[in-house]
Every structure is written in structure tokens, then in C-alpha cells.
Structure 1
Amino acid sequence: MTMIFAHRGFSGYYPENTMLAFQKVAEETKADGIELDIQLTKDGEIVIMHDEMLDRTTNGSGLLKEHTLEELKMLSVGVNIKGFFPRQTIPTMREYFEWLKTTKLITNIELKTSIFEYEGIEEKLIAMVKEYGLEEQVWYSSFNHYTIARIKKLMPEAKCGLLMDTWLVNVGDYAASQGAASVNSRSYFCLKEGVAADLHKHGIILQAWTPNDEELMQQLIDAGTDILITNFPDKAAKVIGR
């Protein structure tokens, strides 16, 4: 059965990567999990945000990594979304984990280490996952496959996904060589004939981002995609028949 992960929370209707968007996944959808993004603050705290720059989603500006947690908490998140919501701030990983442990949701954490590697972020994250006892609920992914290698070294049993934004030949062989549990790719690559079968032959699952159209969701399911990472988990549930 195809699984549903809510992309940056229930971001089709609520400000992305906020506690509100995460909570609404549990309250209003039948999603199996949440996908979110993490970075490090200037003072070494793990926070949840997609962009390296603050400008698009907050009322701040500049690079996230050049601000302390205290400075970041003064900002409001969701300024790019129309509608009326309670004021949201950039969540910390600890805030999220305190909430996650009250649910049964899986969380796919994307480490945003493609532009800035955020030295030590892997160690900090794994230590926190173990502290909260969330080993079974947390999966990991990154476009930086060196990051995935570090995660696997720290926690060999970790479920890791290789994020891809390209056409990769022999993707099953490559993913297996990295000990990956999944390949997380753009929808169009997931639709390529033979990709899902190649991965499944190696015991690796295929995750597609970010299908928000119901017709595309059905095409991905028909092609053998295992997980839909979507802004609209409510639409995905309708397509799947939940």
C-alpha cells in the first residue's frame, strides 16, 4: 500500500515547516508521516526550515546560519501564505520531538547540507533521536550523500533516503551500495519505466516529491511508487482510497 508523507507538514493549507502545519497533519489527514527540513543556527541549535535564506517564509532576512536561536525566535513564519493563522515561529528539533513522541507518525528529516554542510549536525541529530527514543519513527534523507554516509556510520540501522534531482543510471545498484532504504526523487524520474522495479529488486523503496495533482499521484502509484511526499495529504488519501 502506498504511503503518504506530508511535505513540510500540511503545507498546502498552512505555513510550511511550522508546528501548526505539523499538528494539522495529525488532526486533519490520514498521512503516515511528515517530511521536514533541518539546519543549524549560529549557536549550534537544530531548527526546522527549508530555505537557507530567511526572506521567503519569514519577516527576517539573510542567512539562517548567521543568526542565533534567540534571534530566530523573534521572527514570524508564514508571511508568504494567505490567510489568518496564530503567529508561528521557527520550530526547534526539540519542540518537534516533544510533539512527535505523542503520535505514531513517521518523520522523514531532510538534512539541508547541500550548500552549507553544518559540521556536526549529524551527530547532534542522532544524539537527540536517541535521547527521545524515536529511533523507529525517524527516517533521514539528504541531497548530500556524504551526510547519509555519516548518518549510517553513526547509526547503521538508520533508514536513510538518497535525495535525487537527476536521472541516475543503475539507480538500484547505486542506492544499495550506499545502504539506502529509499531513493527520494522528483516525480518525473519515478515515472520512468523500470525505476521502481529496479529499486524493489534491491529491497529499496521509491519516494516521489512533490506530487500535488491527483492525476499525477495516481500515475505514480500505478508506476510502483511507494511513498508520495505531497503538500496535500488529504488529496493523496482520496486517491489511495482511505
Structure 2
Amino acid sequence: MIKNFAHRGFSGKYPENTMLAFKKAIEFGADGIELDVQLTKDEEIVIIHDETIDRTTNGKGLVSDYTYEELCKFDASFIYHGQMGFNKIPTLREYLELVKDKNIVTNIELKTGILEYIGIEEKVWELIQEYKIEKKVIISSFNHYSILRMKELAPDLKYGLLSESWLINAGKYAHDLGIQCYHPIHYNLTPEIINEIKKYGIEINTYTVNKESDIRYLIEKGIDIIIGNFPDLTGELIKEYK
């Protein structure tokens, strides 16, 4: 059955990658939540998409140049001009406290594509074990070396290879690496590509799907997980097809 994952939480209507957006995603019935993790200067795992805080907060500079205490001073919802109150950059631990007892699957994207954050895989794995969510997590990254590093640490977790390129024989590629899922950008999913991936038994989890026509197309093609900014819309359309 196709699943509805909230991209950076309910980011279409609430500040992305904040506890508010995660709580709203759960409230609107998302099956899962996709989020991004990076490391601070003092090696705290924080949830933020960009390597810098410039776009999503009222601060500037690299996440890795700040301690977590320093990052907490910045408002991750400032672009909403005070409409959402103050929302800080959350830690992965805070998020896991929220979902540990809920029927929510978490797609943790390791943001190791630009800054490798050496050791982040071990830190994420430690928290997954601490909160006992091994069966409720997917680890993804654009850095496929990072995925393989974490797979060595935790071979039984579910993994996804992120891609925004027209990768040839993506299904074979994932299969040969022993990875269960392929996470392509949605507009690359032509019928031919879908068929090639499915031929190898690889799960297709695609992002960032926000238009009704695209959601309908992907439902009809039997995609496994739709990751979008509007889990309310995706959820309603999935119900329609049941």
C-alpha cells in the first residue's frame, strides 16, 4: 500500500524541519516524516536541510560553525513574520522523543553530500538504538558512500539511495549494492524507469511531490512512498484510490 510521507514535516504550511511541522504532519495523518540531519560544532545532531542557516533562520553561517546552544538563539520560522511564534532548530533526539511511541516511520536523510560530517553515521545509529526505532526508520543520502558506511554499522536497517539525476539502470545499481530503496526526484519516474526499478524488487520512494496531477500519476504507477510538502493533499488522494 502506498505511503504518505511529510517532506521536512508539514512544510507546505509550517516552518520546515521544526517540531511544529512534525507535530502537524502527525496531526494530519502522515504515515511517515522525512527530515535532514547535520552536525553542529559540538557534534550535536540537528535537523536542518541546508548546510547554512541563512535560508531558514534569521542567522547566517554554517551549521558546523555553531554550537547547539548558539543555534538555539535563531528562529527557524522567521520567514513567517511572527505568525508561527519562535521555533528553534530541533535536535534529532527531540524529534525521536516525539515519535518514539507513535506509528510513524522516519526517513532520516544524512546531509553528507557537501560536508561529510565524519562520524555522523555512528551518532545516528546510536540514537536509533537508544530509542528502539530500528523497524521504523529509513536512512537515505545523496552520498551513497555514507549509506554504505552506515550499512556496515547497521546492516539490518532499511536504506534509500537519493538521486536527482537520470541514473541508468537504477534498479540494478541499488540491487547490486544491497540497498532496498531508491529515492529519485519524482519527475524522473518515466514508466520505463519505474519498470526497471521494480524488476529488481526495489522500493521506490520519491520526492518532492506537491501537485495533484503528479500525485495521481505516482499512485497509479504503484510508487511505494510519496514524499511531499502537503501530507493533507497526498493523504486525501490516496484515500480516493483505495
Q: TM-score range by the shorter chain?
A: over 0.9
Structure 2 counterpart of 1:8, one-letter code: R
How many residues get paired?
240
* Equivalent-residue separation in structure 2 for 1:82 and 1:145 (angstroms): 38
Which residue of 2 is the match for residue 225 of structure 1? Answer: 223
Which residue of 1 is the match for residue 75 of structure 2? Answer: 76
Within a 5 Å distance, the mapping from 1:102-117 to structure 2 comes to 102-117=101-116
**What TM-score, normalized by structure 2, do the two folds share?**
0.96
Which residue of 1 is the match for residue 233 of structure 2? Answer: 235
Which residue of 1 is the match for residue 11 of structure 2? Answer: 11
Instruction: Return 5+ residue gaps in structure 2 as ranges.
Output: none
Which residue of 2 is the match for residue 2 of structure 1? Answer: 2
Within a 5 Å distance, the mapping from 1:177-216 to structure 2 comes to 177-190=176-189, 192-216=190-214
Which residue of 2 is the match for residue 161 of structure 1? Answer: 160
Verify the 8 A CA contact 2:75 2:87 in the aligned structure 1.
yes
Which residue of 2 is the match for residue 48 of structure 1? Answer: 47
* Equivalent-residue separation in structure 2 for 1:157 and 1:7 (angstroms): 24
Question: Which string of whole-angstrom CA distances, capped at 9 and with x for unpartnered residues, describes residues 183-222 of structure 1?
Answer: 11111112x1222222222221111111101111101122
Q: Secondary structure of the residue that 1:241 maps to in structure 2?
A: helix
Which residue of 1 is the match for residue 140 of structure 2? Answer: 141
* Identity value in percent: 50
- Per-residue deviation at 1:177? 1.3
- Per-residue deviation at 1:170? 1.0
Verify the 8 A CA contact 2:174 2:181 in the aligned structure 1.
yes
- Per-residue deviation at 1:83? 6.4
Q: Structure 1 stretch 192-201 or stretch 174-183: which is displaced more?
A: 192-201
Runs of 4+ in 1 over 4 A off after TM superposition: none
* Equivalent-residue separation in structure 2 for 1:109 and 1:211 (angstroms): 18
Structure 1 counterpart of 2:14, one-letter code: Y
Q: Secondary structure of the residue that 2:184 maps to in structure 1?
A: strand
- Per-residue deviation at 1:30? 2.1
* Equivalent-residue separation in structure 2 for 1:40 and 1:224 (angstroms): 36
Question: Which string of whole-angstrom CA distances, capped at 9 and with x for unpartnered residues, describes residues 84-127 of structure 1?
Answer: 11310000011111111131100000000000000100000001
Instruction: Return 5+ residue gaps in structure 1 as ranges.
Output: none
**What TM-score, normalized by structure 1, do the two folds share?**
0.96
Verify the 8 A CA contact 2:77 2:85 in the aligned structure 1.
no
Which residue of 2 is the match for residue 122 of structure 1? Answer: 121
Q: Secondary structure of the residue that 2:115 maps to in structure 1?
A: coil
Establish whether residue 93 from structure 1 lines up as the match of residue 121 from structure 2. no
**Aligned-residue CA RMSD (Å):** 1.2
